[in-house]
């Protein structure tokens, strides 16, 4: 089974967020153990007394918030970098991301649109494996605390929407919700989504560049990234260049 850990970034209500971002990391079921260990090791270096309580989340790390307050900036940035390099250097990691310009997608709910994009791209990823004789089911795993961001509602409607889209042949029917504090893999998804936010909202590709080679792609064709933007707005991101 392939597991796709997803997290979102950006608020539908907050006018200063131009984009809604949904992003995540797909791995074969045996991979999370090893990847989680890497974040555990990082947490142990930063907070030896209580590493399991140290969540690695992009906004907290770069902003020096929550448990990261008091950790010097260079150390916080280095930890973020190491986490993203770990993904970038792992050949079995497949990254997916949907960056949806809210105003350009209006009146369609940008979050629902992002979720649909990611689900169908993950489904096609599994279909590709199936056509090569490796039949695997896919399970989507979401952060339990994302009530505010309406992912919860989307996930509840998942079966209904999946049928409406008419193309989710390889996914389990119900997404799984987990506590991000207990699941390092959700923290990876948050770090990826936040890195995409910095790139698409601020033009800062520092962290995005560290894992972008793991965006799902075959033979140079990029499948794992989609950027929905106003037609007249120029963009040189990987997704727009390939269009
Ligand atoms: Zn673009």
39 CA distance to ligand 1 middle (Å):
30
Task: Report CA-CA distances (Å) from 182 to 54, 57, 124, 143.
Answer: 10, 13, 29, 10
Confidence band of 243 (pLDDT split at 50, 70, 90)? confident
107 CA distance to ligand 1 middle (Å):
20
188 CA distance to ligand 1 middle (Å):
22
To the nearest 10°, report the CA torsion of 153, 159, 164, 166.
140
Does 98 score more than 70 pLDDT?
A: yes
Tell me the pLDDT of the chain averaged across its residues. Answer: 91
Give the pLDDT of residue 149: 56
What's the average model confidence in pLDDT over 12-19?
A: 88
Give the pLDDT of residue 163: 56
37 CA distance to ligand 1 middle (Å):
33
Confidence band of 162 (pLDDT split at 50, 70, 90)? low
89 CA distance to ligand 1 middle (Å):
24
227 CA distance to ligand 1 middle (Å):
5
Per residue in 104-120, pLDDT tens?
999 988 988 898 899 88
For the whole model, what pTM was predicted? 0.94
Number of folded domains in the chain?
1
Task: Report the CATH number at residue 14.
Answer: 3.30.420
Give the pLDDT of residue 132: 94
233 CA distance to ligand 1 middle (Å):
9
Residues of the domain holding 99: 2-241
The single residue listed with the structure tokens 């260049």 is 241
From CA 230, how far away is CA 102, in angstroms rounded?
Answer: 9
Token couple for 162: 């999946």
211 CA distance to ligand 1 middle (Å):
17
Per residue in 127-145, pLDDT tens?
999 999 999 999 999 888 7
């Amino acid at each position: 089974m392939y597991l796709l850990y997803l997290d979102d970034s950006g608020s539908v209500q907050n006018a200063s967020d131009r984009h809604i971002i949904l992003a995540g990391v797909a791995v074969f079921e045996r991979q999370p153990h090893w990847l989680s260990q890497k974040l555990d090791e990082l947490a142990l270096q930063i907070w030896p007394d209580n590493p399991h309580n140290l969540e690695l989340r992009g906004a907290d790390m770069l902003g020096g918030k929550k448990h990261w307050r008091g950790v010097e900036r260079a150390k916080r940035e280095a930890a973020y970098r190491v986490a993203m390099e770990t993904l970038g250097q792992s050949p079995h990691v497949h990254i997916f991301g949907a960056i949806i310009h809210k105003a350009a997608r209006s009146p369609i709910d940008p979050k629902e649109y992002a979720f649909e994009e990611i689900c169908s791209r993950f489904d096609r990823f599994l279909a590709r494996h199936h056509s090569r004789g490796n039949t695997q089911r896919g399970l989507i795993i979401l952060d339990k605390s994302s009530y505010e961001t309406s992912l919860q509602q989307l996930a509840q409607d998942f079966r209904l929407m999946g049928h409406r889209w008419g193309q989710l042949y390889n996914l389990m029917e119900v997404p799984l919700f987990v506590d991000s504090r207990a699941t390092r893999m959700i923290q990876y998804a948050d770090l990826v989504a936040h890195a995409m936010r910095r790139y698409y909202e601020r033009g800062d590709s520092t962290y995005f560049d560290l894992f972008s080679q793991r965006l799902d792609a075959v033979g140079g064709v990029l499948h794992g990234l989609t950027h929905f933007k106003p037609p007249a707005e120029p963009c040189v991101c990987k997704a727009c260049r390939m269009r």
